[in-house]
């Protein structure tokens, strides 16, 4: 069996040059993605079309030889699969019918999640089959949104805010919010286990809005549910590694790392990688955290930032990535130049 660098790193072993992939690599900046997106007609049509979604997932692997293939999907497919109405407003992003009380929560249908999300699991199977057929060293990474971040969208019905309403609700009605987080925790476990059954080799949990919380709320609504998900996954599939990405966690990153049981932690753009290297257990893989804007700019700035990151991470388990998703205006030649630099060691 071919050795896969990302899986080696997530087992706690340093690999140099480090493996590399990029968040949101499947789409956005690639002309082949834009053509496939036009063929699908809408984002939701694309996500739920296994043939096209698998094609998009594989496009950056074919073009760049990425060490990771991240499933092309969306963190809001879990509430969608449970029956919450989801649609996309062109140029503005996702919209959902808000859930703000027990009646709205009771209307969700978690028992129907696997059936509704079956096209997504078929996408995973198609990608895994294609990678196996090519004898690829690329690791197939499944994912879900973490409960707190998904709850932000479910309660407010949209993104693009600081989610004041959600944070107020967590303080003012913790019984309701705890129930919502519990539903999402259980649903996320089921959703991720189905991805594993379909062929995912590693998993990632995206908590994009975790940094909005105070330390006590972070521990309750981010660390505790994440740890519960990790325990359930480890019980069912102990060999499968999981990467957590608590964006804007700041110094809470160390607490997150020690208490969640993750094999890897994603660093956001604002995180000082040298601080992370000093405060996160040395056997735990770090992933990140090049600024997507410097990738878009390119040139000396890109080379300087990339070399600094590589220097900070040398000697420990590390996956080179961005600190957030790749910008859609990013020139392909800048990505190619970065990969050449990283792979040159």
Please indicate whether residue 74 is annotated as part of the active site: yes
Which of 28, 114, 314, 343 is flagged as catalytic? Answer: 28
Please indicate whether residue 24 is annotated as part of the active site: yes
> Could you list the pLDDT tens digit for every one of the 345 residues in the chain?
678 999 999 999 999 999 999 999 988 899 999 999 999 999 999 999 999 999 999 999 999 999 999 999 999 999 999 999 999 887 778 999 999 999 999 999 999 999 999 999 999 999 999 999 999 999 999 999 999 999 999 999 988 778 999 999 999 999 999 999 999 999 999 999 999 999 999 999 999 999 999 999 999 999 999 999 999 999 999 999 999 999 999 999 999 999 999 999 999 999 999 999 999 999 999 999 999 999 999 999 999 999 999 999 999 999 999 999 999 999 999 999 999 999 996
Please indicate whether residue 101 is annotated as part of the active site: no
Which of 33, 64, 153, 256 is flagged as catalytic? Answer: 153
Which of 33, 37, 268, 316 is flagged as catalytic? Answer: 37
Please indicate whether residue 126 is annotated as part of the active site: no
Please indicate whether residue 219 is annotated as part of the active site: no
Q: Where exactly are the structural domains of the chain?
A: 5-343
Which of 67, 74, 207, 268 is flagged as catalytic? Answer: 74
pTM across the whole model: 0.96
Cis peptide before 28 (omega within 30 of 0): no
CATH for 5-343, among 3.30.2090.10, 3.40.50.1970, 3.20.20.210, 3.30.70.2740?
3.20.20.210
């Amino acid at each position: 069996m071919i050795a896969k660098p990302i899986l080696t790193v997530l087992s706690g072993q340093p690999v140099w040059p480090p493996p590399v992939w990029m968040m949101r690599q499947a789409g956005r900046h690639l002309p082949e993605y834009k053509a496939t997106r036009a063929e699908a007609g809408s984002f939701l049509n694309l996500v739920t079309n296994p043939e096209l979604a698998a094609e998009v997932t594989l496009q950056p692997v074919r073009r760049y030889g990425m060490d990771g293939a991240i499933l092309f999907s969306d963190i809001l497919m879990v509430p969608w699969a449970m029956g919450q109405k989801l649609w996309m407003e062109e140029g503005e992003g996702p919209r959902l019918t808000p859930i703000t009380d027990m009646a709205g929560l009771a209307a969700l249908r978690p028992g129907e999640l696997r059936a509704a999300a079956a096209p997504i699991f078929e996408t995973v199977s198609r990608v895994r089959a294609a990678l196996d057929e090519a004898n690829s060293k690329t690791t197939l990474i499944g994912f879900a949104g973490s409960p707190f971040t998904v709850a932000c969208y479910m309660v407010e019905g949209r993104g693009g805010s600081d989610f004041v309403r959600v944070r107020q609700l967590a303080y003012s009605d913790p019984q309701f919010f705890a129930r919502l987080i519990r539903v999402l925790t259980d649903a996320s476990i089921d959703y991720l286990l189905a991805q594993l059954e379909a062929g995912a080799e590693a998993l990632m949990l995206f908590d994009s809005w975790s940094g909005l919380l105070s330390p006590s709320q972070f521990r309750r609504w981010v660390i505790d549910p994440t740890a519960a998900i990790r325990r359930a996954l480890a019980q069912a599939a102990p060999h499968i590694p999981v990467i957590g990405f608590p964006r804007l966690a700041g110094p809470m990153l160390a607490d997150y790392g020690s208490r969640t049981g993750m094999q890897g932690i994603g660093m956001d753009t604002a995180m000082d990688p040298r601080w992370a290297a000093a405060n996160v257990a040395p056997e735990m893989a770090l992933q990140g955290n090049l600024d997507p804007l410097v990738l878009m700019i390119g040139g000396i700035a890109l080379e300087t930032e990339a070399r600094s990151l590589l220097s900070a991470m040398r000697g420990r388990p590390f996956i080179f990535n961005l600190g957030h998703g790749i910008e859609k205006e990013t020139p392909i030649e800048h990505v190619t130049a970065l990969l050449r630099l990283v792979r040159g060691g």
